[in-house]
Amino acid sequence: METYVSTNKEQLDITKIHRYISEDSYWGMKRSLEDVQKTIDNSFCFGLYSETNEQLGFARVVTDFVVFAYVMDVLIFKDSQGKGLGYKLISHVMNSDALIEIKTFALKTKDAHSLYERFGFEKIGNSTLWMTKDNVVL
C-alpha cells in the first residue's frame, strides 16, 4: 500500500480524529471536538494518508523544537491497523527534519512499548507507561 505523511493541518480529518480519540482510545475518552481541535492547533501534527488521500493515521508532537518533544495521540484508524502503518508513521515523526535535533523525546503508552523500543525509546524507571529517548550524551 502506497502511503505518504503530511504535516499540513488543513489536510487533517478532525472529525475522524476526534471520533477515534473519544470512542476508540483508552487515553482520550472525555475529549470534546473542541478539545481535539485545540490540541491540533497547538501541536506539530502528522497525518498518514493513502495514495487516494484517505487519512489512515495521525500523530502529534508538543515541542520547543530544540530540547524536548512529547509524542502524543499516535493512532492508526481501525480499518488500517495491522499493516505496519504505525511503524511508518513513527519513523516519519522521528526522522522529521523539524525534530531530528531534539535532545529528549518522551511519550506514554499502555500497549505499544515494542513499537517505540524499535526507535530507541526506553521505559523510565519502574513506570509501566512512560518512555523516553535521550539523544544527549553525558
Q: Is the pLDDT of residue 96 over 80?
A: yes
Residue 44's domain comprises 3-134
Mean pLDDT of 22-32: 86
Domain count, the chain: 1
Inter-residue contact 48 to 58 (CB < 8 Å): yes
- Top pLDDT among 30 and 103 is at 103
Q: Is the pLDDT of residue 130 over 80?
A: yes
Amino acid (1-letter code) at residue 53: N
43, three cell numbers: 501541536
Q: Which CATH number is 105's domain given?
A: 3.40.630.30
What is the Cα–Cα distance from 122 to 23, expressed in whole angstroms?
Answer: 29
